[in-house]
Amino acid sequence: MKPAHLSKRLETILKYVDCRVLADIGTDHGYIPAAACGLGRARFVIACDLSPGSLKKAGEYIRERRLSDRIETRLGYGFDPIAPGEADMAVISGMGGALIRDIIQKSPDTVKNLTRLILGPQRDLPALRQRLNEMGIIIKDEEMILDKKRFYNILICEPGTPEPMTPEGRMFGQALINKSDPVLRLFLLKLLERNARILEHTETLKEETRLAAMALAQKGWF
């Protein structure tokens, strides 16, 4: 059955799933596990979430899709509900980069046993890239997508010995730079445009502040 509710972001994540047992950390609605099974990208999925409400929602969706024999829901923080070696790939997406970093740091044994880790951080990307590098996790590839006017990064990682990072690789993703990614180009152009507007505004504010201080001084109103 073709999975429903697949955004461009989730479709991109699914492209990189190809395993026996997938761990979906922070599953929420359960779309990733259902699609991974429906598309034949995982034989079995362990769908984890910290929130009982999310797991209830995921459980209902999984039953609706008649996938209860191929997806198991488990409650808990990050990889806590999963034993090392139980899953061969994992997805952690739809949350902040700092939280993703904390989740990975908390379960080094489970992470080291994965063949691939697919990450979809929604902010704090430079800090996450840096920490992955320090933890011995290679960012093998990275995709940037534009979905409903929002940019999303998908990081395809695996345990190993990473190369040292360049400042621009840490900030924007070395793999995206290396492959001259057209979405990264668009992102950078928009970033320059936005920052130029902010800098212009900052100059106006500086001048306004200077003139206000001068007027106060001239009047002796300090």
Which of 28, 142, 143, 181 is in the footprint of ligand SAM by CB under 6 A? 28
Residue 173 binds to ligand SAM (criterion: CB under 6 A)? no
Residue 14 binds to ligand SAM (criterion: CB under 6 A)? no
Residue 78 binds to ligand SAM (criterion: CB under 6 A)? yes
Instruction: Considering only the stretches 19-27, 36-44, 59-67, 207-215, report the one whose residues sit in contact with ligand SAM under the rule CB under 6 A.
Output: 19-27
Residue 93 binds to ligand SAM (criterion: CB under 6 A)? yes
Look at the block and give the residue holding tokens 């099974």: 37
**Residue ranges in 142-171 that form contacts with ligand SAM under rule CB under 6 A:** none
Q: Is 56 left (phi over 0), alpha (psi -120 to 50) or beta?
A: alpha
Q: What are phi and psi of 118, to 5 degrees?
A: -110, 120
Count the Cβ atoms, other than its own, within 10 Å of residue 19. Answer: 20
Which of 51, 178, 202, 204 is in the footprint of ligand SAM by CB under 6 A? 51
Nearer to ligand SAM, 44 or 77 (CB): 77
Q: What are phi and psi of 125, to 5 degrees?
A: -65, -45
Which of 6, 100, 103, 156 is in the footprint of ligand SAM by CB under 6 A? 103
- For residues 203 and 183, give the distance between their C-alpha atoms in angstroms, rounded to a whole number: 30
* Concatenated DSSP letters of 43-65: EEEEEEES-HHHHHHHHHHHHHT
Which of 54, 73, 110, 153 is in the footprint of ligand SAM by CB under 6 A? 54
- For residues 13 and 143, give the distance between their C-alpha atoms in angstroms, rounded to a whole number: 9
- For residues 13 and 10, give the distance between their C-alpha atoms in angstroms, rounded to a whole number: 5
Nearer to ligand SAM, 54 or 73 (CB): 54
**Contact residues for ligand SAM (CB under 6 A)?**
25-28, 32, 48-51, 54, 77-78, 93-95, 99, 103, 120
